[in-house]
Amino acid sequence: MPFANLFANVAAKLFGASPAGTGEVEPELVQMTVEAVVDAVDPRLRVVSGYQARIAPGVARTITHLRALAKDMPEPIVLSRGAWGTDPLLNALFATADDVPAVLGRSDELRSFFDAAANAAATEAYALLGMLKAERNVLAPAIVDGVLRQDVAQTTVSFAQHRLIAPAADFIACRREVGARTFRRMAALALERITALGERATELEQRKAVLGAKLRMLNLKRNGIEEAAGGAGDVAGEIAALEKELKATVDDYVEAKASLATLTTRLEHINAIFNAPADYVNLKRIGLRINKMGFKVAADSSEPATDLTLSELSVGAGLTATIAFVRCQRAELPRKETLSARAARAVL
């Protein structure tokens, strides 16, 4: 069975209608997840004696962690042009009402969902909306102690690069797909570590070759004709330094190559990720007070503002996004022709 299907089966059990608590994880779920991870990273790991027992503790720890996160998943909101004017969160996430249908229209996954024959009767889809939050310090007008000032230091909050992923017919199915993608991401992180080791070995091999060539060149210069013109320099000193550097490079290369060649090392990289799931996948709820101009407002300020709770999902170093589960109406999806015409007008 393709590992994508295995992860889907894992997610179906992991993020069902009522995710289990943080107690003992079902052995069959752990076994299923182990096989999905092995298929994704390196199926050859099955030749290692006791590979399941080695990976299972970390997998169980990850399942427990993800189930705890699932309890704090935000409830879905309606993503539509009309809702922009009434939903404070949606109003904060999009600069204008027109931005909402634009994001819907740019989602190939959402369009494919509605175009599928199996979803011909579907009037809406649930999806995960992800975007990047940016804060910028600016000087802008503001009322301070009842007086309008033009140069008050303020912080703007904006959101960009909106993306819709994992569309599904209902919220549970959407949550399952997000869970499957999260597990695939963790497997990818383990594979990235292994790939990085291979790249390091290649880099060291190339460095070893370059240093070897330089060393041969210096040996040719030693006691050479260059000495007659005073052009030899301190060849002996250069050779000693180069030999030292070459030896260190060779030692590093041998170690990297040996680690890359062993399946046991690959198991260790998998465990490094799955034994510490909180280091790689986290969901945070962040409070934010914001006014109608998009400026942050202090908690003790009397200025009119809206209190929001944002959800931030982290899935590896450098990958953090503000997320919201949304309900997308088929009627809100712009036609392809409309999008193409709009792009053509923008060029002109």
Per-residue pLDDT at 19 exceeds 50 = no
pLDDT score, position 282:
92
Domain boundaries, the chain: 192-273
Sign of CA dihedral 248, 249, 254, 255: positive
CA dist 75 to 164, 174, 206, 273, Å? 16, 12, 52, 28
- pLDDT of residue 17 exceeding 70, the answer is no
Mean pLDDT of all residues in the chain? 82
Residue 51 has pLDDT above 90, yes or no: yes
How open is the CA angle 85-307-317, to the nearest 5 degrees? 100
With cut-offs at 50, 70 and 90, classify the pLDDT of residue 2: very low
Q: Record the pTM.
A: 0.74
Residue type, 309: T
Return the DSSP state at 17.
S
Out of 157-166, 201-210, 261-270, pick the least confident: 201-210
